[in-house]
Amino acid sequence: MARKTLVIAESKEGQCRHVSFEAIAAAKQLADGGEVVAVLCGDQVEAFGPILGYYGADRVLIVENEQLKSYTPDGYKQALMQVISSEQPKAIVMGHTAMGKDLSAGLAARLDCGLVSDITDLEIGDKPLFIRPIYSGKAFEKKRINSEMLFVTLRPNNIAALEKDETREVTIEVFDVVVKDLRTIVKDIVKKTTTGVDLSEAKVIVSGGRGVKNAEGFKPLQELADVLGGAVGASRAACDAGYCDYSLQIGQTGKVVTPDLYIACGISGAIQHLAGMSNSKVIVAINKDPEANIFNIADYGIVGDLFEVVPRLTQHFKEV
Ligand code: FAD
């Protein structure tokens, strides 16, 4: 059954977020032949219009307003309520990002319709089924939404984006909105220095635990991540010990990641850590204890000292 589907796209630091392209691929399936419309809110985001089309959107709506320069719940909800009321989509898809989590719940509540969050897959039919991990990734449930309009958020790195095709014809429209009486205004954003690759969207993550021993011990991990074009993550024990920032924490109380490759260095494999990374496509564990639990879920295990193994891997990948 064809259903018009809206994708709420996101840009960050001068780039369209990759999960937005994945959301377009999911929306294509969900639309089942219906139109896929991508909407991007912000200030000076018009340049991103074509790329959303190259990744499969049939039409792109650019919502430019200086009040939407930074995400605020009331500003974005006001703007998107106007888009939704004009477009009348049957389904609305976005990334399961900080913005997507907040926005989807708020909009679904305002419109009194269903929301299924953090999906990793979907099965299409008259009533689509959404698949999402539960119990910290130990099981998957299939959900069906019965409301007329439905919201879906998508866990990054699970549904592959379509091949980028720059020959696709894209219709780009400017959609004017009225945004007023904002209760929140972002005056300034103070950023932490990061390596550039967003942990939640990284295809490769090199993660360190208590076995890394100190902040200095993270340097070889960063070098390996740089060579592989990835990001560095950490266990909570490493964050608690002050070896690295809490923004790197992966697990039940940290970030949930699904990279193509997760390299766990000096991490024992506590259940709370596994909750954040066990759905990674390939897991490599480096640990000097052959009995470490991480080896039970690893695809490849290296029993050894990470300070010997990691530099050798870096050297090897530099040469290939
Ligand atoms: P350890 O368990 O101490 O393991 C260190 C490992 O390093 C050992 O296996 C050791 O053999 C190995 N090692 C040491 N030296 C070397 C070396 N030179 N070379 C190779 N290997 C070496 N944890 C998280 O990670 N994320 C969470 O979100 C999280 N949330 C939690 C929520 C709650 C409510 C609770 C109670 C706990 C949570 N934890 C979380 C903590 C979790 O239970 C573990 O304590 C933590 O994951 C352990 O981190 P670790 O594996 O780095 O340290």
Tens-digit pLDDT profile for residues 163-207: 999 999 889 999 999 999 999 889 988 877 665 678 888 999 999
Q: What pLDDT, on a 0 to 100 scale, did the predictor assign at position 220?
A: 97
Per-residue pLDDT of 85-97, as tens digits, reads: 999 999 999 999 9
Whether 264 is in the pocket of ligand 1, judged by its Cβ within 6 Å, is no
Predicted pLDDT at 193: 65
Q: What is the mean pLDDT of residues 240-267?
A: 95
Average pLDDT over the chain, rounded to whole?
94
Ligand 1 neighbourhood includes 278 CB (under 6 angstroms) = no
> For residue 12, what pLDDT is reported?
85
Q: Cβ neighbours of residue 14 under 8 Å, at least 6 residues apart? A: none
251 belongs to an annotated ligand binding site: yes
> In the prediction, which pLDDT does 305 show?
98
Q: Would you say 183 is a known binding-site residue? A: no
Q: Does the CB atom of residue 214 touch ligand 1 within 6 A?
A: no
**Contact at 8 Å (CB) between 5 and 36?**
yes
Q: Is 255 in the pocket of ligand 1 (CB under 6 A)?
A: no
- The three-class DSSP label of residue 57 is coil
Q: At what angle do helices 219-227 and 306-319 cross, to 10 degrees?
A: 20
Ligand 1 centroid from CA 300, angstroms = 19
Please give the torsion angle defined by the CA atoms of residues 219, 221, 224 and 230, in that order, rounded to the nearest 10 degrees: -110
User: Is 287 annotated as a binding-site member?
Assistant: yes
Q: Is 96 in the pocket of ligand 1 (CB under 6 A)?
A: no
Contact 39, 63 (CB under 8 A): yes
Q: pLDDT at residue 77 above 80?
A: yes
Has residue 255 got a pLDDT over 80? Answer: yes
Please give the pLDDT value at position 198: 83
CA 239 to mean position of chain CA atoms? 22
Give the model's confidence band at 137: pLDDT under 50 very low, under 70 low, under 90 confident, else very high. Answer: confident
Contact yes or no for 30/91 (Cβ under 8 A): yes
pLDDT more than 90, % of the chain: 88
ipTM value greater than 0.85 = yes
For residue range 26-67, list pLDDT tens digits in order. 999 999 999 999 999 998 899 999 999 999 999 999 999 999
**Segments of the chain assigned E as strands:** 5-9, 11-12, 15-16, 36-42, 59-64, 91-95, 114-119, 121-123, 129-134, 139-143, 150-154, 171-174, 204-208, 231-234, 261-265, 282-287, 300-303
How far is ligand 1, taken at its centre, from the CA of residue 230, in Å?
Answer: 21
Instruction: Ligand 1 pocket test: pick from 210, 284, 286, 303 the residue with the most ligand atoms within 8 Å of its Cβ.
Output: 210
* Pocket of ligand 1 contains residue 67 by CB under 6 Å: no
* 238 alpha carbon – ligand 1 mean position (Å): 7
**pLDDT at residue number 196:** 65
Output the pLDDT for position 136: 80
Mean pLDDT over residues 72-98, rounded? 97
11 pocket-lining for ligand 1 (C-beta < 6 Å): no
Pocket test for ligand 1, best of 273, 291, 303, 308 (most atoms within 8 A of CB): 273
Is this structure's pTM higher than 0.80?
yes
- Residue 22: closest CA among 45, 55, 63: 55
Instruction: Tell which atom from ligand 1 comes closest to the C-alpha of 209.
Output: 52
Q: Is 252 in the pocket of ligand 1 (CB under 6 A)?
A: yes
**Closest approach atom of ligand 1 to CA 237:** 49
211 lines ligand 1 (CB under 6 A): yes
Q: For ligand 1, is residue 289 a contact (CB within 6 Å)? A: yes
